[in-house]
Amino acid sequence: MAFFRIFSTRSGYTRAGYRISSLNGPYHLVTDIFCTNLTKLHDALLLSDQLCAWRAFPGLDLLGETSIKHRYAYLLILAPAVVTSLNRNWDIWVMVPTLASILFFESKRYHLSAITLGIAIATKFFPVVLFLGIAVFFLRNKELKRLITYFLVTLIVWLGINLPVMAVDLQGWSFFYQLSFSRGLGEGSFFTLFSKLGLDLEFSNIAYYFFNSFTFLALLLFLWKSPEVLNLTQSAFLLVTAFTLFGKQYSMQYVLWLAPLAVIAIPTIAKRRQNRLILGYICWQFFEMLFHQAYYQNLLARVLESRGTPLAQYWSDFEYGIAGILRYSAFLIFVYLITSSLGSRKRNIVAKQNQVATTRKKK
């Protein structure tokens, strides 16, 4: 978060109790004032920024057979949940350096990858989870020295951005981390859906740490024991999934993190499996959008009811809970399809190469 707090002051700019940087604050102020006239332009600019990120991938060849091209970019830019999330979150900006870092990593330009990852982590902290996939990749390939170098370069870039901000306003810099650590379980999270359905299940922050620790340990075991060493394009989606699945609070920004990583992972999987992945992705996006509607309608109904002006029609807690269960179920099915398909494309390539070699020997 420090990347957007470089010029913030100790008093900062507050909105709904959150400290926002002097760069991000005026952005919201301007778009709030002129939103009636500039909504379409605002959306178009954000979408074009996302497309620019995809255009960085036309020449990347992961497995020596087919390049990742942006032929599947339509899955991202036409997804309703992604489009609506762009209007409520600025997280598109962190995905640009994150995607660039993955591109450079797959192209074996590790220094550039480490630099852009450092920028991404300074912009928003969650890309730090990619280090787990990077570490497994280097360690399984017995490249410990390269791993250490990569980590140090990323750390230097992150410190270069954060240290000036810490020196100017340590309290403002640490606010985000303190809030994330101390906040309780909130709306839309996996932990709160059961109460919406009328089930007497309550979770504490201890459950949050338990579920997240278990998820990451299981994922690390999967990455370490998988038959093939997964590249970062494939592992990035799973890592961010593990980070968001049992989050303290659901946020629409999650789809802006996950959707681009899902779309770039699909072409790395065997073609015969890609159609079902696309279908799974579309189903996930549909129920994601449904949950967005339920989430905000339920929230709006409760706010207006507290003011004595209840909505005539709204999503009840039970309907909201059902929408949440459908969203999490559709997403987990898509994650299963991705996980079960990983490595299949590479196995097909190896099998073809072995078949060709066998045929030549017989001749």
| Domain-located, residue 199 | yes
| Domain-located, residue 238 | yes
Per-residue pLDDT of the chain (363 residues; tens, 9 = 90+): 443 333 333 333 333 333 333 333 333 333 343 333 334 334 434 444 444 444 444 434 443 333 445 567 788 888 888 888 887 777 888 998 999 999 999 999 999 999 999 999 999 889 999 999 999 999 999 999 999 999 999 999 999 999 998 999 888 888 888 888 888 787 778 888 888 888 877 788 888 889 999 999 999 999 999 888 899 999 999 999 999 999 888 888 899 999 999 998 988 888 888 889 999 999 999 999 998 888 888 777 777 766 766 665 677 888 888 999 999 999 999 999 999 888 555 555 444 545 545 555 555
Q: What is the torsional sign of CA 280, 281, 283, 287?
A: positive
| Domain-located, residue 230 | yes
pTM of the model as a whole: 0.77
Quote the number of domains for the chain.
1
| Domain-located, residue 226 | yes
User: Residue 242 has what pLDDT?
Assistant: 94
| Domain-located, residue 320 | yes
Residue 266 belongs to domain spanning = 186-363
Q: What is the CA radius of gyration of the chain?
A: 22
CA distance 329 to 325: 6
User: Residue 358 has what pLDDT?
Assistant: 53
User: Residue 51 has what pLDDT?
Assistant: 44
Non-local CB neighbours of 331 within 8 Å, separated by 6+ positions = 284, 287, 288
CA distance 348 to 328: 31
| Domain-located, residue 255 | yes
Strands (E), 26-138: 60-61, 67-68
| Domain-located, residue 24 | no
C-alpha to C-alpha distances, 148 to 21, 45, 268, nearest whole angstrom: 33, 38, 27
CA distance 177 to 182: 9
User: Residue 41 has what pLDDT?
Assistant: 39
CA distance 217 to 20: 34
| Domain-located, residue 150 | no
Cβ(189)–Cβ(250) under 8 Å?
Answer: yes
